[in-house]
Amino acid sequence: MPTINEILKTMDYGPAPESTKETNAWLDEHERRFGLFIDNAWTAPGQTFATNNPADGKEIAQVTQATTDDVNRAVDAARRAQPGWVALGGHGRARILYALARLLQKHSRLFAVLETLDNGKTIRETRDADLPLAARHFYHHAGWAQLQNEEFADYRAVGVVGQIVPWNFPLLMLAWKIAPAMAAGNTIVFKPAEFTPLTALLFAEICQQAGVPAGVVNIVTGDGAVGEAIVKHPGIDKLAFTGSTDVGRIIRRETAGSGKKLSLELGGKSPFIVFEDADLDAAVEGLVDSIWFNQGQVCCAGSRLLVQESVEERFYAKLRARMDNLRVGSPLDKSSDIGALVDPIQHQRIHGLVEGARAEGCTIYQPECVLPADGSWYPPTLIMGASTSASVAQTEIFGPVLVAMSFRTPGEAVQLANNTVYGLAACVWSESISLALDMAPQIKAGVVWINTANQFDAACGFGGYRESGYGREGGREGMLEYLVPLAEDARPAAPVAPVKGKVKEADSSGNPFAIDRTAKLYIGGKQARPDGAYSRAINGANGEFIADVGEGNRKDIRNAVEAAHKASGWSKASAHNRAQVLYYIAENLAARADEFAARLGAMTGAKNPEKEVQASIDRLFTWAAWADKYDGLAHQPPMHGITVALNEPVGVVGIVCPNEAPLLGFISLVAPALAVGNRVVAVPSEAYPLSATDLYQVLDTSDLPGGALNIVTGSADELAKTLASHSDVDAVWRHDGSAEGCAEVERLSASSLKRTWTSGGRGRDWYSDKQSAGRAVLYHATQVKNVWIPYGV
């Protein structure tokens, strides 16, 4: 007589196919040929291309390839509609967003089946994950629209927004981008992925039903040429892109100097960390949701498994057993766990990476499963024995492939987790909440899930660090991506051009015994001679020589960046301690106010230099006050737990300071960066640098740790290029008014996708708190990390 286990092994799920009747009826209603949606009307289909079902390779429909003229018409329609959309008011926009949410729910099964047909993901995922979350985004942002006048009173809409999304979450990415953009008062030109355009076209229909005004939402389909036309269009005020890191770099270079606002959500290689005290069975289920959800075609997929050595073999055994029971099959079958890859091209890439790992001696485990004969399919795969530098350990595979390795200590786990150019997400599994919460801030990722995986909500921001991009989607921070501070509109058109000194050899007297009175650089808390042994003569407003300053070069910047990285203790210090240091700097500056005023007067010829000194002291107090008050938020998403949004420092920030108000401008940029825990490499005013070099003694007597602030004088153009090109600099701010120089910083930043904040050739009123202080500046000085913490389960 067979045992219970033997009987269970023979049992299997029966087929549970989802009907496609309504979806096929909708497609047939359109004769399976679609035009573009521009200005609330459908164009006749033009030159078309096929969108195919990944599960069997069969054509679903023909979709129009938009032209540059089509993009122009869409942008023009959006531009005409934008003033009226803003004038409708927050309540009017909220009503329409609410109607969209209701219609998504009403037609959820139609959307879910269409998404599964077009994308290849399982119906369980589209039905139970994608559609509810898409509707949730429109509900949530209807609330932001209603509250905009109260919560974002000092902001306005950006204008016309270009949005480009990938094929892995076609409808959900649409909701993530369109909902906040509409809520904030923007109008949209949206491009869905070439492989998966159909749910965006269905969404266009519900826009008509919901009463979205003409021109507010425009949807243009096609290949990368359409995206390129949107990126390059001068009528686009903001670009929001989700996709590969390589394309993100191209967009950053292309938009450099254009003034376009930019948010990039790019690739990932996310760690899934399992400690020895974790609930291993729960961790296995979390891993299934993390790497085999949507066939691993997820930017935040937990594709790097890090297991504590003491439980490594036990965990692998449980994982292999679970893999054996994963069902690969028809995406429309409600009992399928893994569907089809989006396209044969994706299959070829994944297969090549796995076989490359096999050739390198890695152990490959794939369960025995019969893959369908037609379509693009790949089995769940586990790779063991890869080195930390192996291609499969560093490259985003974007498929159902997991790379596993072990660690011994929490410190080693952090090192392995951060051993990547990406920084999108991470999972930490441990029954010790103290250990898990200690790990979360150390991992360089925008999202950290504790004892859970792949949790998302419209109230909780999502986005990455480093080469995973910048900007956030969801939450308050997601709304800010589609808004501009009103104070930006009041900025001066351009700063006054300063007179620059001439470069000469450091000692031109010819006397080898002459005392070198050149103002040196300030690196690692010490004064340092410039590497190139050159100096710059600084003359006063009356033309008379005042002093020489060191002429910094590439090596000086390198030394300053190294010193900044060594000063990591500044980022770990309490906000209270950082505030105390800034107060102390203000106190010591006040004690020497007359001296600094005299120097400013001599350099700039200002009639009332005392005003700038007093404003600088006041600004230091402002940033000291903010240091322990720029707190994060605690969200309550639908899951049973909380999400803590932490405002973290960006890291090492290079700052090129303005020539106007040289002391106040320097303080207004450097102090907020320091207040929230960044370490700074500052290039003071090229024309009037002595106010910054005179600060050395103030800094030395104010308990600022060496390396937290480093000052390198010299050519703004040359030093800015070096900072923007340096791979260990996390952000560059340039506010010296050089339009060409700002564009160069943005262009060079693409190499490591560092954040930038530039003046764009315009000036700034450094005496204005609205233009030069407050949350709008802190937004640039921080990045938000969302830590998901379940409880009671």
* Predicted pLDDT of residue 513: 47
Neighbours of 334 (CB within 10 A): 16
Quick check: 548 pLDDT over 80? yes
* Predicted pLDDT of residue 518: 83
* Predicted pLDDT of residue 639: 79
* Predicted pLDDT of residue 6: 58
Q: Is 718 part of the annotated catalytic residue set?
A: no
Out of 239-248, 364-373, 576-585, least confident range: 364-373
DSSP 309: G
- pLDDT tens digits along 279-335: 999 999 999 999 999 988 989 999 999 999 999 999 999 999 999 999 999 999 999
Average pLDDT in the 704-720 region?
96
Quick check: 506 pLDDT over 60? no
31 — alpha (psi -120 to 50), left (phi > 0) or beta? left
* Predicted pLDDT of residue 554: 96
- Cα gap 521→560, rounded to integer Å: 9
* Residue 151: half-sphere exposure toward Cβ, Cα within 13 Å: 16
Quick check: 4 pLDDT over 60? no
Quick check: 364 pLDDT over 70? yes
Quick check: 565 pLDDT over 90? yes
* Predicted pLDDT of residue 493: 85
More confident residue, 15 or 201: 201
* Predicted pLDDT of residue 369: 85
Q: Is 427 part of the annotated catalytic residue set?
A: no
Place of tokens 């995922």: 125
The CA-atom distances, in angstroms, between 576 and each of 414, 626, 677 are 26, 10, 11
Q: Which of 299, 427, 460, 742 is catalytic?
A: 299
The CA-atom distances, in angstroms, between 597 and each of 616, 632, 764 are 11, 38, 21
- pLDDT tens digits along 669-689: 999 999 999 999 999 999 999
* Predicted pLDDT of residue 155: 96
* Predicted pLDDT of residue 128: 93
- Cα gap 269→643, rounded to integer Å: 22
Q: Which of 194, 265, 396, 481 is catalytic?
A: 265
Average pLDDT in the 528-534 region?
90
- pLDDT tens digits along 388-412: 999 999 999 999 999 999 999 999 9
User: pLDDT category, 498, cuts 50, 70, 90?
Assistant: low
Select from 224, 183, 223 the least CA-distant residue to 92: 183
What DSSP assignment string belongs to 435-485? Answer: HHHHHHHHS--SEEEES--S---TTS-B--SGGGEE--BSHHHHHHTTEEE
Quick check: 643 pLDDT over 50? yes
Quick check: 510 pLDDT over 60? no
- pLDDT tens digits along 743-788: 999 999 999 999 999 999 899 999 999 999 989 999 999 999 999 9
Helices (H), 60-197: 68-87, 89-106, 108-119, 123-125, 131-151, 170-184
* Predicted pLDDT of residue 770: 93
* Predicted pLDDT of residue 638: 86
- Cα gap 646→312, rounded to integer Å: 32
Average pLDDT in the 467-478 region?
94
Average pLDDT in the 348-376 region?
92
Average pLDDT in the 246-255 region?
96
Place of tokens 């000052």: 711
* Entry field: residues in the chain: 793
439 near 286, Cβ under 8 Å? no
* Predicted pLDDT of residue 210: 97
Mean pLDDT, the chain, rounded, equals: 93
Quick check: 509 pLDDT over 60? no
Instruction: Give, rounded to a whole angstrom, the gap between the first and last alpha carbons of the chain.
Output: 40
- Cα gap 343→334, rounded to integer Å: 22
Chain-centre distance for alpha carbon 627? 23
User: pLDDT category, 56, cuts 50, 70, 90?
Assistant: very high
* Predicted pLDDT of residue 499: 55
User: pLDDT category, 508, cuts 50, 70, 90?
Assistant: very low
Average pLDDT in the 102-113 region?
97
* Predicted pLDDT of residue 533: 86
- Cα gap 333→351, rounded to integer Å: 25
The CA-atom distances, in angstroms, between 749 and each of 278, 399, 710, 746, 762 are 40, 29, 20, 5, 20
